């Protein structure tokens, strides 16, 4: 597949990548580094993408795996290139409520972050189950528990 097709897919779904970066990294520099690493991993796996899953599903899987692997490595490998789409989310103003929500979400476990991120993107339980590799029933139960946990963290 062509470089242009890859960049088109990235441009269509980059908001998903920015959300994952914001959820799994605290500082702007770390978010930018993670974004670069995710793009690199997507580029490496793009030739093998067969279209069996939706592009967003494919990207989520790779992005979440990259974010989690980066947390496990002491020195993540980062490749920089000038061919990436602009990082619009890095300059977006955020409200106080958004900041509080992201602060609460960062307190969740990695598995909980993955599930709630997908849920907040309005994916169905079936799609979330396919991405995470668990059952739809488990997703339903886990989402309810995560909501309760977030309410407790936010003191609602």
88-122, pLDDT tens digit by residue?
Answer: 444 454 678 878 888 888 899 988 988 988 888 88
pLDDT, position 72: 54
> Which pair of structure tokens corresponds to residue 144?
């309810």
Residue with tokens 């980062």: 78
What domain range includes position 119? 93-156
110 and 84 within one domain: no
Q: Do 4 and 79 form a contact (C-beta atoms < 8 A)? A: no
Q: Which of 139, 140, 123 is nearest to 56 (CA)?
A: 123
Q: Within this chain, do residues 5 and 35 fall inside the same structural domain, yes or no?
A: yes
Question: What is the pLDDT averaged over residues 62-86?
Answer: 61
**Ramachandran area for residue 51 (φ above 0: left; ψ -120 to 50: alpha; else beta):** left
Residues 23 and 75 placed together within one structural domain of the fold: yes
CATH number at residue 86: 1.10.1740.10
- What are the tens digits of pLDDT across the range 35-67? 999 999 999 998 888 878 888 888 888 998 898
Split into its structural domains, the chain has a count of 2
Tokens found for residue 19: 């959300």
- Taking 60 as the threshold, does the pLDDT of residue 80 lie above it? no
pLDDT at 141 over 90: yes
């Amino acid at each position: 597949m062509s470089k242009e097709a890859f960049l088109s897919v990235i441009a269509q779904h980059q908001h998903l990548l920015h959300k994952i970066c914001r959820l799994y990294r605290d500082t702007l520099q770390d978010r930018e580094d993670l974004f670069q690493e995710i793009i690199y991993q997507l580029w490496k796996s793009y030739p093998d993408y067969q279209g069996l899953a939706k592009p967003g599903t494919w990207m989520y899987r790779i992005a979440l795996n990259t974010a989690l692997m980066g947390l496990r490595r002491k020195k993540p490998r980062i490749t920089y290139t000038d061919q990436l789409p602009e990082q619009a989310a890095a300059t977006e103003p955020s409200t106080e409520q958004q900041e509080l929500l992201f602060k609460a979400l960062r307190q969740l476990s990695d598995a909980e972050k993955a599930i709630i991120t997908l849920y907040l993107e309005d994916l169905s339980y079936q799609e979330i189950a396919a991405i995470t590799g668990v059952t739809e029933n488990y997703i339903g139960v886990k989402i309810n528990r995560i909501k309760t946990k977030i309410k407790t963290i936010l003191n609602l």
